[in-house]
Structure formats: structure tokens, C-alpha cells
């Protein structure tokens, strides 16, 4: 499945502020959440609704609702948690899991240190969130862990993606649809996305 890139003037505007090295922690964190909300809306275009009947102040009508219990959000720690507030505004009753990974700065491969997901996640659609899809290593490993737990249906949401990361994720898990706010140019020798926005985790939490 081809990666879906959000193309909208408001997204481009917010990304320009997000990328700016002079943007402060508070504004950066807020923008990550706002863009995550847009991504979640886009990712839910194919959501299945369940028929129901409700009473408006005027009359009863037949309509449809989302069964929010059918979804699990899984941020990849730590930067993925920066997207969580924006995501749960769309589906506030979804279950939430966590996968902890950090990058080995020598091999550039992910090191796993934490895995906790809700029971029955195998029966829900799993939406994995991480601001940056760089090498794709963390995304590929996270999905592999979840598949080993029985999960079957996935989407991956990120703010910025590199072509290399998209290629690696698509090759490893062709059943996973990728949604991103922007596809950037390439990875540099240190495996950072160019032009990118720096280290998303450090900028979200103000640790550099």
C-alpha cells in the first residue's frame, strides 16, 4: 500500500513552524498534537460505523456510531507519546498500549526495553504512532512484536517520513498502511531525516 501523505495548506503551515529550530518546546509540543489529530482523521476514513437510534432535542433518528472499543493506540516511546493527546481527541475511549525503544547510536538499530498492550489487542485495529519514520527499524520491530501477540490489523501514523523508512516498512509489512504529514528527502549519514525537524523526542520534552 502506498504511503498516504497529507497535502493541505494548513498542514504545510504548521510543519513550517514545527521545523523551525527557533520554535520553543511548548509550541512544538502543541503542533505535534495538532498534526496528529489531522492524521488520525485521515486514517479513520475507512472506519466502520454501527447503526443505532438516538433522540435529538427534536425527534428520534436512525444514525451510526463508531465502536471506540475496536481500537488500540500504541505510541513508540518516548516521542510517540507527544502525538497521543492529539490522537485521543478523535477516539477518546480507545485503549492505549506502549512500546519502548531507543536507537543504538552505533548500529542505528532499535533496542527494545518495554512492551505493554491491553488485553484482547488482537481483536482491535492497532494504530501505531511515532513522529519520525527514519530508518523504519522501530516501526518494523514494533509491528513484529504486536503481530507475535496476535494483532492482525494495523496503521502507522507519523509526522515526517523518509523514503528509506517507508520502503523498509512497506517491504517488511506490506499489510500496514502508512499515514504521514510529509515525506522528506533522505536520511543523512547519521540516519537523521533531511530536512527533518531534529530529534522529535528532545524537542517535545525539552531535553536538549
Catalytic residue among 37, 78, 85, 199: 199
User: Can 202 be counted among the known catalytic residues?
Assistant: yes
Catalytic residue among 107, 120, 175, 207: 107
The Cα 125–Cα 39 span in angstroms is 16
CB–CB of 20/198 below 8 Å?
no
The Cα 182–Cα 143 span in angstroms is 21
Catalytic residue among 19, 29, 78, 103: 103
Beta strands of the chain (E only): which ranges? 4-5, 49-55, 60-66, 71-77, 95-96, 98-103, 110-116, 125-129, 132-133, 153-161, 177-183, 186-187, 193-194
User: Can 103 be counted among the known catalytic residues?
Assistant: yes
Residue positions annotated with a catalytic role: 103, 107, 199, 202
Amino acid at each position: 500500500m502506498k504511503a498516504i501523505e497529507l497535502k493541505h495548506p494548513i498542514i504545510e503551515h504548521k510543519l513550517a513552524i514545527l521545523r523551525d529550530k527557533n520554535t520553543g518546546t511548548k509550541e512544538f509540543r502543541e503542533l505535534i498534537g495538532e498534526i496528529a489529530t489531522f492524521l488520525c482523521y485521515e486514517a479513520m476514513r475507512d472506519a466502520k460505523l454501527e447503526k443505532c437510534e438516538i433522540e435529538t432535542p427534536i425527534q428520534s433518528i436512525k444514525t451510526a456510531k463508531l465502536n471506540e472499543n475496536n481500537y488500540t493506540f500504541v505510541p513508540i516511546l518516548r516521542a510517540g507519546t507527544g502525538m497521543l493527546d492529539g490522537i485521543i481527541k478523535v477516539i477518546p475511549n480507545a485503549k492505549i498500549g506502549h512500546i519502548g525503544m531507543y536507537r543504538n547510536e552505533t548500529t542505528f538499530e532499535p533496542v527494545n526495553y518495554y512492551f505493554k498492550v491491553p488485553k484482547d489487542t488482537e481483536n482491535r485495529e492497532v494504530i501505531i504512532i511515532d513522529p519520525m519514520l527514519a530508518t523504519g527499524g522501530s516501526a518494523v520491530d514494533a509491528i513484529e512484536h504486536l503481530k507475535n501477540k496476535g494483532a492482525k490489523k494495523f496503521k502507522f501514523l507519523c509526522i515526517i517520513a523518509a523514503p528509506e523508512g517507508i520502503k523498509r516498512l512497506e517491504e517488511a509489512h506490506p499489510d500496514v498502511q502508512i499515514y504521514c504529514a510529509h515525506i522528506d528527502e533522505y536520511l543523512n549519514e547519521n540516519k537523521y531525516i533531511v530536512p527533518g525537524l531534529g530529534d522529535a523526542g528532545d524537542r517535545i520534552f525539552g531535553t536538549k
